[in-house]
Amino acid sequence: MTHKHEAIESACQMYPLYDSRWEHDACGTGFLAHVSGEANHSLVQQALEALARLTHRGAQDADAEVYDGAGILTQIPRALLLEELEKQHVTVANPADLGVGMVFLPPKGSVHTQQCRQIIEQVLQDAGLVILGWRTPPVNYNVLGARAREIAPEIAQVLVACPADFTVEAYGKALYHARRLIERKLTEADISDCYIASLSNTVLVHKGLLAPNDLANFYQDLADPRFTSALAVFHQRYSTNTFPAWPLAQPMRLLAHNGEINTIQGNRNWMQAREGSMTSSYWNEQIQDLLPVVQPGNSDSAQLDNALEFLAASGRDLLQSMQMLVPPAWEHDPELDAARRAWCDYHAGLIEPWDGPAALVFTDGRTVGAALDRNGLRPARYVLTAQGLLIVASEVGVVSVEPQDVVEKGRLGPGEMIAVDLEHQVFLRDLDIKEALAQRQPYQEWLESHRVSLPQSSLEELPDPGYAPEISDVFVRQQIFGYTHEDVEMVLRPILSENKEPTWSMGDDAPLAVLSNQQRSFSDYFRQRFAQVTNPPIDPLRERVVMSLDTYIGRRGSLLTETPDHAHLVHLKSPILTEAQLESLCHIDDEHFRSRTLLTTFDITDGSAGVEKTLDRLEAEAIAAINDGITLIVLSDSDASLTRLPVPMLIAIGAVHRALIDKGLRSRASLICQTGKVCDVHQIALVLGYGAEAIVPTMALESVRAMAGDRRLEHVTRELAVERYIHVIEEGLCKIMARMGISTLRNIIGAGQFEVLGLVPEFVERCFAGSTFHTGKITYQLVSEQLIKQAEELQQAQASPETANPKSVSWPTWAAIVSVAMLNTMPSIP
Which residues belong to the active site?
27
Q: Do 513 and 670 contact (CB within 8 A), yes or no?
A: no
Concatenated DSSP letters of 23-45: -EE--EEEEEEETT---BHHHHH
Which residue type occupies 216?
A
Which among 357, 354, 360 has a CA at the least distance from the CA of 326? 354
* Number of Cβ within a 10 Å radius of residue 159: 22
Element (H, E) at 445: helix 443-450
In 3-state terms the chain splits into helix, strand, coil percentages (rounded to 5) of 40, 20, 40
Q: Which of 799, 804, 810, 688 lies closest to 737, judged by CA?
A: 688
Secondary structure of residue 668 in the 3-state scheme: helix
C-alpha closest to that of 72 among 296, 240, 192, 223: 223
Q: How many CB atoms lie within 10 A of CB 686?
A: 27
* DSSP structure string for 783-801: HHHHHHHHHHHHHHHHH-T
Yes or no: say if 208 and 246 are a contact pair by the CB < 8 Å rule: yes
Specify whether the CB–CB gap between 655 and 766 falls below 8 A: yes
- The alpha-helical segments, DSSP class H, found in 202-337 are 215-218, 264-274, 300-312, 318-325
Q: Which of 104, 90, 320 is nearest to 193 (CA)?
A: 104
List the one residue out of 693, 708, 702, 608 whose CA is nearest residue 657.
Answer: 693
Could you give phi then psi for residue 460, rounded to 5 degrees?
-65, 150
Alpha-carbon distance of 46 to 48, in angstroms, equals 5
Query: How many other CB atoms are found less than 10 A from the CB of residue 341?
Result: 17
β-sheet bridge partners, residue 231 = 33
- HSE, side-chain direction, 13 A CA sphere, residue 641: 5
Task: Round to whole Å and give the CA distance between 449 and 566.
Answer: 11
Q: Are 440 and 346 in contact (CB under 8 A)?
A: no
User: What interhelical angle do 681-689 and 718-739 show, nearest 10?
Assistant: 60
In angstroms, the CA 435 to CA 367 distance is 17
**Exposed/middle/buried for residue 528 (C-beta within 10 Å: 0-12, 13-18, 19+):** middle
Burial class of 45 by CB neighbour count within 10 A (0 to 12, 13 to 18, 19+): middle
Coil, strand or helix at 98: strand
3-state secondary structure of 422: coil
Q: What is the 8-class DSSP label of residue 488?
A: I
On whether the CB atoms of residues 574 and 691 are closer than 8 A, the answer is no
Question: How far out from the chain centre does Cα 495 lie?
Answer: 31
712: left (phi over 0), alpha (psi -120 to 50) or beta: left
Strands in 508-558 per DSSP E: 526-528, 551-553
- H-helix or E-strand spanning residue 655: helix 649-662
Rounded distance between C-alpha atoms, residue 258 and residue 205, angstroms: 17
Angle at 697 between CA 685 and CA 714, to 5 degrees: 115
Cα atoms found within 13 Å of the Cα of residue 713, Cβ hemisphere only: 23
Distance from C-alpha of 221 to C-alpha of 244, rounded to nearest angstrom = 24
